[in-house]
Structure 1
Amino acid sequence: MSTTTFAQLTPYEKSENIATTTYEEAINYYQSLAKAFPQQAKLVVYGQTDFGKPLHLLVLSKEGIFDPIKVKQANKRVLLINNGIHPGEPEGIDASMMLARDLLKNKQLSNNVVVCIIPIYNIDGAFNRTATSRANQNGPSAYGFRGNSKNYDLNRDFIKTDSKNSESFQQIFNAWQPEIFVDTHTSNGADYQYTMTLIPTQKDKLNPVLSTYLTHNMLPDLYASMKDKGFELIPYVNSIKETPDNGISGFMESPRYSTGYTALHNTIGFMPETHMLKPYDKRVESTYKLLQTYINIVERDAELIGANKRKADEETSAQKTFVLDWKLNRDKFDEIEFKGYAAKYKSSEVSGLQRLYYDRNEPYTKAIKQWNNFEPVLKIDKPVAYVIPKAWTKIVQLLKLNNVQVNELKEDAKLPLEMYYITDMKTAQKPFEGHYLHSGVKLETRLQAIHCYAGDYVVYVNQKTNRYIIETLEPQAPDSFFNWNFFDSILSQKEHFSSYIFEDTAADLLKENLGLKQKLEEEKAKNPALAENAFAQLEFVYKNSEYFEPTFMRYPIGRLVKDITLALK
């Protein structure tokens, strides 16, 4: 790593590698860098954050192309590096500053790769600076806080977009459409010998052409190169039991996470996680060398990576069946070499009971099991299009933000749509990231003639953004807009009846509809409690009559399953 400067050292280097850079220092430094190298570096502002400060993007381009449209026209690859999503995990902040400087100063930018760097994503949390919020971490001397100014964990906000930070990030991502994305982090958990661990986008959820390249080319090269550079990699240590020597499992990142979100757009993502107990300077150095390695691989494989992305987008546009949910195959595993420390137990000085500790005087190298194969548990066939009532504006805004083509009906129409009714679901008893999340959604599908109106939105499912469309709009998907409570108003009934009045109406209904009367009698025979409850019987008649509101528990977005001609604006 170079310690010479174009004009100045980074704040991290000036501190003799013990302090991470503040937000203001980072932006000032990047402004100076862009000023010193105006032909190859540009600092661009994209939107706002909840903290009231703009989100910046440093663009490094050897040929001075700073327009994302022109970058694509020139057939350049885009590597997007995101730092400080958790500002208490700041290695990427400091490593990226040094890397950007050295690439420019040493004339090492690639002809084929445009490098885009978000200096600090969670600006809010970066200002909330202490030395104590991460109790299990070895330095730096002070750092930011995980939550943003609304106390959101921004690495859970990529679908729901409660923060301005997320909206601005999506502006960047969907403007530049990177082929490769890296989101820098620091780990928690077990102790072991490695400084750097790695979470790639889960291979089974990627488009096959991307998954093949990731597993057969990119990951082996990353591992080999980092070993040569003195920082041997290991998959993120997600222990099956208390300690990693019992085996580790892969991580299935849903779209709430950064790399789960990028996978919806056929972008290969990585979360490098340095080990929190290693010295901070080594964590920064390993991050620097890993980012350098990404650039080298993307430069070498630029044509292949571009071709893979184009093919994945084409296949996604034409794809008919999509997986919505996955489960870990616990019967299938690999064995990998693992360098750990002996896990032992001793009496706790706090409780007097047995406590776990890792003995660094007893390092070991041995094979451990890795479970990293996921299987589909829920699939869906795509419709021709989704029809979204114009009232649901946030849905449409997010779709458009993600490069989804959205059309509008030109005139009122009655359309045959598959409508979902929510028949069952679980709702969290405690809030998670500001939401009482739904899960385990069960649906009943009914084909209905639905009155649609001029200005309602039509989203055809023939786009390269199909995965984003389907995994947000299908309510049973784990991170759907429905599960994030965007549609909770449909879960409450708006009208009811007064028993003494509806008694006469219900009697008439039973006389006029012998089928309904028979259905009621059958239910009473099966359910003695119903037979003894007058109100419950009225409720049964009401819910099976035209008086009962058809929109109760009906998901408002319809599925057009026949390719009929629509009048569109």
Structure 2
Amino acid sequence: MSCLSISGQGKLLTVAESSDFKSTSKYDDVMNFIGQLKTSSRLIRVETIAISTEGRGIPLLIIGNPLPKSPLLPEKDDRIVVYIQANIHAGEVEGKEASLMFARDLLSEKNPDLLKHMILLICPNVNPDGNEKINPANRTNQEGPVNGVGVRYNGQFLDLNRDAMKAESPEIRGVIKKVFNEWDPSVFMDCHTTDGSYHVEPVTFTWMVNPAGDNSLIHYMRDKMIPEMSSILLKKYETGNCYYGEFKNMMKPEEGWFYDAADPRYMTNYFGLRNRLGILNENYVHADYKSRVLGCYFLIKSLADYVSANKDEIKNLLREVDAKTIRRGISPSVTDSFAIEYAVRPLPEKVTIKTYEVEPLNDPDVWPPFRRTDRQKDVTVPYYIDFFPEKSVKFPFAYLMKINDQNVADLLIIHGIKLERMSSDANLEVDRFDLSGLEGSSRLNQGHYTNKIKGKFISEKIEFPAGTLVVRTAQPLANLAAYLLEPQSNDGLLTWNFFDRYLVPQWGAGYYQYPVYKVNSPVEMKTIPLN
């Protein structure tokens, strides 16, 4: 089925629409639809941000009035950049269809007011290899489309929404390099489908939550942006919605509603570490396919409405946070810290979820051990989403890496982190990390036996030769750099095995020192920039 179907009114239709919401678009359908948009409007152009493992180009739609020829320079263009991403899990297809519908409808307006305030970037099919494996046997727990959906993994059998930090896939490397680094969007929404609890609302969404980012951004989203988007979605677009989560206990929903994915391997949390605003959209798996697509469509509209109305407020907030991050790195105080362990607590205000009563099943071989009834009920419960540090370490002035590992340097550059090399030898007071334990996981995780680390920091003077890699924290991406380089980080390069070869002697017991050192206080270093 081609997505180039035209309605009786001459309107370009997606596969979802033209099939009466029985199918979802394949790769060629998406590309043909985008081609039609380009033919019909001067306000859109398309770039390829990456080539997938199986050889498919990944398109990025760039929409603006006027259409920018290149990424924005803030001093020359005051518009705000918004990035919508869909189909990272190619069985979760609503965002793919909804984002194409939104682009079509926006471009069909004679004077789209939204484009006076924003540049819109859309990647409707970030996992094209997974998308091509459409089969009715995939995700049979969800309500359509009856003709099937794709698979969760990409052509490397990787979950792309666990790849943000290690960035091993061409898809995520493309997003980071060609979207995040080049366009620096202020707001990013990643579209998914739920797998969890029973509720009534067809749309759920929430904010980035990792506490190692700047908390003022989390508080802005939690206290203003997300509640106002929720209100727009309900009142203007008549679409029921709630904050994303699951019941701690479906049999006892009063125990609370929770969200537990705080690590920056997840794209929205990663985006928060970049000092930007990340939104996770999860459309309700048990709502029918049409309701999921339309709900996602109206959520995108609600986001666009909010951002265009609050453009200056958002841009000013992000500028302030970037400046604050740089100031901290210039001269870290004794209280500046980085969270290496965190826990979650409920928000001060409870949330109301429209749910269903369930009945237990007395069969140990059946999961879940209950069935949903048709009896609806509203519950007002604690929302466990406020992540806070339980253990922290000193935030440094700089990180130094003595080993000459081009893979690590290249990865840091891909992330957009500014690197330097020492131009002369230096004897510096640093904290080195002595390992006392390094244990790989018993089961593969995204192709890795991820490490659990034990050890302690020891302060001493060390001679660093010319050529030593320097990562100063007086840069906007300092929180991301710290998360990647701190040895006790739960999602850093040591966790993901990037330094394993340097840590374990080929003969004998014990461990070598972790090859990244912390300079805690400002010090003069002669360096040359790498990027």
* Native 8 Å contact 2:207 2:222 kept in 1: no
470, 479, 485: which one pairs with 2:491?
A: 479
3-state DSSP class of the match of 1:231?
coil
- Cα displacement (A) at 1:49: 2.2
Confirm whether residue 142 of structure 1 aligns to residue 157 of structure 2.
Answer: no
Give the match for residue 350 of structure 2.
335
**Further displaced range: 366-375 or 327-336:** 327-336
Distance (whole Å) between structure 1 residues aligned to residue 357 and residue 326 of structure 2: 50
Residues 1:185 and 2:197 are matched in the alignment: no
Aligned pairs (5 A) from 1:22-61: 22-38=26-42, 40-61=43-64
Closer, same or farther in 2 for the Cα pair 1:210/1:4, shift >3 Å? Answer: farther
294-303 or 384-393, which moves further after superposition?
Answer: 384-393
Residue 240 of structure 1: CA displacement?
1.6
3-state DSSP class of the match of 2:231? helix
| Residue-by-residue CA offset, 1:73-118 (whole Å, 9 max, x unaligned) | 3021111001110010000000011110100101324211111001
Cα pair 1:328 1:371 within 8 Å, conserved: no
What letter corresponds to residue 82 of structure 1 in structure 2?
Q
Deviation at 1:330, TM superposition (A): 4.6
Question: Is contact 2:343–2:389 with CA below 8 Å preserved after alignment?
Answer: no
Instruction: Give the counterpart of 1:355 among 363, 366, 369.
Output: 369
106-115 or 414-423, which moves further after superposition?
414-423
Aligned to 1:85: 88
Contact 2:211 2:389 in 1 (8 A): no
Residue 172 (structure 2) aligns with: 166
Alignment of 1:12-23 (within 5 A): 12-23=16-27
Partner of residue 3, structure 2: none
- How far does residue 20 in structure 1 lie from its aligned partner after superposition? 0.9
| CA separation of 1:87 and 1:414: change in aligned 2, threshold 3 A | same
Q: Does 1:388 align with 2:397?
A: no
Larger Rg computed on CA atoms: 1
Aligned mates of 1:354, 1:446 — CA distance in 2: 52
Q: Mean alpha-carbon deviation: is it higher for 480-489 or for 375-384?
A: 375-384
Q: Say whether 1:117 aligns with 2:129.
A: no
1:462, distance to aligned residue in structure 2 (A): 0.5
Please say if 1:283 is aligned against 2:297: no
**Farther-moved stretch of structure 1 (247-256 vs 458-467):** 247-256
Which of 247, 262, 266 is residue 275 of structure 2 equivalent to? 266
Match of 1:126 among 125, 131, 134: 131
Contact 1:421-1:444 at 8 Å conserved across structures: yes
Residue type matched to 1:12 in 2?
A: A
428-437 or 26-35, which moves further after superposition? 26-35
Query: Secondary structure of 2:136's partner?
Result: coil
Q: Which whole-Å CA distance do the structure 2 matches of 1:69 and 1:385 have between them?
A: 30
1:212 aligns with 2:212: no
Which range is displaced more, 394-403 or 319-328? 319-328
Displacement, 1:135? Answer: 2.5
- 1:82 & 1:447 partners in 2: Cα distance? 46
Query: Contact 2:402–2:464 at 8 Å: present in 1 too?
Result: no
Q: 1:81–1:6: structure 2 CA closer, same or farther, 3 Å change rule?
A: farther
Say which of 57, 61, 65 aligns to 1:62: 65
Partners of 1:568 and 1:298 lie apart in 2 by: 40
Deviation at 1:332, TM superposition (A): 6.6
2: distance between equivalents of 1:371 and 1:451?
45
Q: Counterparts of 2:131 and 2:447 in 1: how far apart (Å)?
A: 21
- Pair 1:234 & 2:246 matched: no
- How far does residue 351 in structure 1 lie from its aligned partner after superposition? 4.7
C-alpha distance in structure 1 between counterparts of 2:338 and 2:259, whole Å: 18
TM-score, normalised with respect to structure 1: 0.84
Aligned partners of 1:387 and 1:133: how far apart in 2? 47
Name the structure 1 match of 2:310: 301
Partner SS, residue 69 of structure 1: coil
The amino acid across from 1:365 in the alignment is D
Partner of 1:397: 410
Give yes or no for the alignment of 1:439 onto 2:398: no
Aligned to 1:379: 392
Partners of 1:20 and 1:142 within 8 A in 2: yes
Q: CA deviation at 1:133?
A: 2.0
Call closer, same or farther: CA 1:242–1:263 in 2, change over 3 Å.
Answer: same
Judging changes above 3 Å, is the alpha-carbon distance between structure 1 residues 5 and 401 closer, same or farther for their aligned structure 2 residues? farther
**Is 2:342 the counterpart of 1:314?**
no
Provide the rounded CA distance (Å) in 2 between the counterparts of 1:562 and 1:458.
14
Shift of 1:354: 9.7
**TM score, norm. by length of structure 2:** 0.90
Identity %: 23
Seen in structure 2, the aligned counterparts of structure 1 residues 354 and 185 have a Cα distance that, compared at 3 Å, is: closer
Structure 2 residue matching 1:443: 3-state secondary structure: strand
User: Contact between 1:87 and 1:146, CA under 8 Å: does it hold in 2?
Assistant: yes
Shift of 1:458: 1.2
CA distance in 2, matches of 1:155, 1:351: 31
Q: 1:93 & 1:307 partners in 2: Cα distance? A: 31
**Distance (Å, rounded) in 2 between the aligned partners of 1:400 and 1:351:** 50
Aligned to 1:491: 503
Partner-residue secondary structure (3-state), 1:417: strand
Query: Deviation digits for residues 177-211 of structure 1, max 9, x if unmatched?
Result: 11111000000122221111113112855524323
Shift, 1:48, TM fit:
2.3
The amino acid of 1:439's aligned partner reads K
- 1:416 and 1:450 in contact (8 A); partners too: no
The residue matched to 1:472 in structure 2 has which SS? helix
Q: Could you list the per-position Cα deviations for residues 238-277 of structure 1 after superposition, in whole angstroms to 9, with x for gaps in the alignment? A: 2222444431123342110001110111111111111111
TM superposition shift of 1:6? 6.7
Q: Residues 144-182 of structure 1: CA distance to partner in whole angstroms, max 9, x if unpaired?
A: 100111110000000011211111111121111111110
Q: Bigger shift: 332-341 or 552-561?
A: 332-341
When the two chains are superposed, the root-mean-square deviation of aligned CA atoms in Å is: 2.4
Task: For 1:365-376, list aligned pairs within 5 A.
Answer: 365-376=378-389
* 8 A Cα contact 1:413 1:451, kept in partner: yes
Say which SS state the counterpart of residue 350 (structure 2) adopts. Answer: strand
Cα distance change, pair 381–73 in 1 and its aligned pair in 2 (3 A): farther
Deviation at 1:301, TM superposition (A): 0.3
Question: How far apart are 1:347 and its partner, in Å?
Answer: 4.7
Quote the Cα distance in structure 2 between the aligned partners of 1:143 and 1:42.
28
Contact 2:403 2:515 in 1 (8 A): no
**1:466 pairs with 2:466:** no
